Structures are given as C-alpha cells and as structure tokens.
Amino acid sequence: MSTPTGFMEYKRELPADRDPLERIKDWEEFHKHLSEDQLRTQGARCMDCGTPYCHTGMELNGSVLGCPVHNLIPEWNNLIYRGLWREALDRLHKTNNFPEFTGSVCPAPCEGSCTVGLIGEPVTIKTIEKAIIDRGFEEGWVVPDPPKKRTGKRVAIVGSGPAGLACAAQLNKAGHTVTVYERADRIGGLLTYGIPTMKLDKKVVQRRVDLLAAEGVQFVTNTEIGKDIPAQQLLDEFDAVVLCGGATKARDVDIEGRELGGIYMAMDYLNSTIKSYLDSGLADGNYISAKDKTSSSSAAAIPEPTASQRRCATAANRSRNSARMPRRRLRATRSRTRGRSSRTSIRSIMPRKRPKRCSGKIRGRSPC
C-alpha cells in the first residue's frame, strides 16, 4: 500500500482541459496532464485492496466490472507513488498491448469499481495509466521488441481495428508471421476512422502501427478480403485466419423525419471528416460539414433537403415543441393551476392554428 490513509488525506484530481475558446481553433486532444507530484499523490490514494475490484474484470448482469484486460492497477499505483516509472510501465505492458489507447478512450470500468468510490471519489486510474505510457514514449523506453525466434507459422488477420492489432501483437510476440489485411487506406479501424482526433490523436495510432511493423507485422491496406482477395486464398496460403472485421453495418432508426435531408449516420460523418483532415487538413472539402447543415464544398455529394421537406420539418418541429411545452410547464405549475384541469391548461398554451404552409398532417405521416 502506498500510504494507509492516502484516500482520506488526498482528494481525487483530474487533469484540466484546454480552454474551450482555444481548443475550438484546432482538432488536437484537449486533456492536459497532471504534474509528477500530483500523480504521485493520486497513486497514494490507492488502498491496495486485498480483493482489488478495479483489476477484477468480469461481467455481472450485463455490466462490466473492473478492468476487462485485468490491468495490474494496484501495483502500478504503488510504483508511481514510489517514483518507479519504468517498473510501472513494465507492469502495465504485462496485460495491455496499447495503454496509450485505453488511457485515452477506455470508459474506465476500473474506476467505477474502485473501492474508494464506495465512500468518496475513486482513484484516478485512467489518468495514471495514460501518464505511465506517455512517459514511457517520452523517455524512449517503448521500442520495437521483435520475437527472438519465429515458429514458421503464418497467420492472416482480417481487419486492423484494436481487435486486429491486439491479435497481431500477441501472435507476433509468440513468433508467428502475421499479415494484417485492411480494406481502408489506413490502419487502425475505428481508432483511426471512428474516434474523433480530439479524443485520440491519429499520430498516436500511427506510432503504435509503426512499432508493430518494426517488430515484423506486415500490413496490407486498400484490400478487402472477399472482394480483392478471395477468402479461400487466405485459407490456402495461411496456417490460420483470424476475422476482426468489426461491425460496419450501421443501426439505422425508423423514426419520423429520418428521410429528411441533412441527417447522416455517425460513421459517414466521422469517416469523411477524419479522412479529409488526415489527407489534406480539410482542404480537399471531401467531408460532411455541419456548418449551415451542409457545406458548399460537399453540396454535390450531399442532397439538400427540398423546399417542401424544409417546410414540413419546420412545421413538425414547431408542432412537437408546442405539444411538449405544456407538459413541462404543467409539472412545474401544477400547484398554481389547482382547480383547472390539465386539459384546460394545455389548451391555453397550445397554438390554436396549424402551422402554415404544410399540406400534410403535422405529427402523423407527412407527404415529405
């Protein structure tokens, strides 16, 4: 244990975020770092529990408890408290191939399971994890570590998201010869083309891809298995094939207004924006912009809503808002409206006339 009473003496601290007025000027990450002293103090809050729930990754009633990769959290909390950063990095890498990704974007079920959280605020586990790996890269401790011996077995991995990359890292470490196939033009799956850059800098993804390549993993981009290369060919040429294709099929919603212009699936938006940003710093204009709903640069690719769609969308919004408002106001003013029925109150607030210019039903199926 770092200090027996650390969790009572010190408060939880998180790194500050960049000033919003500053960070809207670029697409860089917006979390800052804690100082080394602050991190040491945060490490001191860990009780080194006999049963560390933070580390015990398990599923209970559909919820994840603790760290899914079983990070040795109490150990590296203590090492940080003692200033042993290199040792902390080694412990972190024992269970986690990519702490720089998890330290940035993991939802941190470890913190939700931390025992200190029962009576106060949990230990800042994720911040410490990120600090350890960032320091590891800064100090030059994270270097390619190719296997000493190769097994002679060849493995193909389809898909280069975090699942494919972790699989490649482990199999390569075991000495197998690994080739990763990716249909996109860049490696990383949703790490590259899903999670926005302000949450995960793409240079951080590329840095890890370069390390894996230096350790002997081969990457083949712009190649869709099943289209550019038949699946049978992989089965014939490799000793094993691992499918890590993610879930490209989006889950659409069947709700009123979905057919209107200017509504996109999140991945269409993110994919186009991140690709344009990485290719040309957004100069090529090949992205969906939320500015004025559609950007002039991408207007050709993105259908503008028709005049009738716009009118109906406005009318439907107005109608929805006016129907919701009385209920909200009624809840707040129930005591004041005693003696009047809800129906009377609603009528007094509802617009008397239908919004103009919409030829169809307002809340039902409109012709647009």
- Does residue number 270 form part of the binding site for ligand FAD (CB under 6 A)? yes
Size of the site for ligand FAD (CB under 6 A): 28
> Residue 41 or 96: which CB sits closer to ligand FAD?
96
> Residue 85 or 193: which CB sits closer to ligand FAD?
193
- Does residue number 57 form part of the binding site for ligand FAD (CB under 6 A)? no
Q: Which two tokens stand for residue 140?
A: 């030059």
- Does residue number 204 form part of the binding site for ligand FAD (CB under 6 A)? no
Nearest distance from C-beta of residue 200 to ligand FAD, angstroms: 8
Q: What gap in Å lies between CA 130 and CA 255, rounded to an integer? A: 40
User: Pairing relation of β-strands 240-243 and 218-220?
Assistant: unpaired
Q: What share of the chain is helix, strand, coil (3-state, %, to 5)?
A: 40, 5, 50
Residues 153-182 close enough to bind ligand FAD by CB under 6 A: 158-164, 181-182
* Among ligand FAD, ligand SF4, none, partner that 182 touches (CB below 5 to 8 angstroms by kind): ligand FAD
- Does residue number 108 form part of the binding site for ligand SF4 (CB under 6 A)? no
- Does residue number 92 form part of the binding site for ligand FAD (CB under 6 A)? no
Q: What gap in Å lies between CA 39 and CA 81, rounded to an integer? A: 8
Nearest 5°: the CA angle 138, 140, 141 is 110
Q: What gap in Å lies between CA 121 and CA 110, rounded to an integer? A: 13
**What is the amino acid identity at position 346?**
I
Cβ distance 180 to 218 under 8 Å? yes
- Give the per-residue contact string, 65-104, with ligand SF4 (x = CB under 6 A; - = no): --------xx--x---------------------------
Specify burial of residue 236 (Cβ count, 10 A radius: 0-12, 13-18, 19+). Answer: exposed
Cross-strand bridge partners of residue 279: none
List 15, 112, 194, 257, residue binding ligand FAD (CB under 6 A)? 194
- Give the per-residue contact string, 209-238, with ligand FAD (x = CB under 6 A; - = no): ---------------xxx------------
- Give the per-residue contact string, 9-48, with ligand SF4 (x = CB under 6 A; - = no): -------------------------------------xxx
- Give the per-residue contact string, 125-164, with ligand SF4 (x = CB under 6 A; - = no): x---------------------------------------
Residues 241-260 close enough to bind ligand FAD by CB under 6 A: 244-246, 248
Could you give the C-alpha distances from 356 to 54, 197, 228, 240, 307, in angstroms and in order?
58, 43, 54, 65, 14
> Residue 8 or 265: which CB sits closer to ligand SF4?
8
CA nearest neighbour of 288 among 309, 265, 272: 272
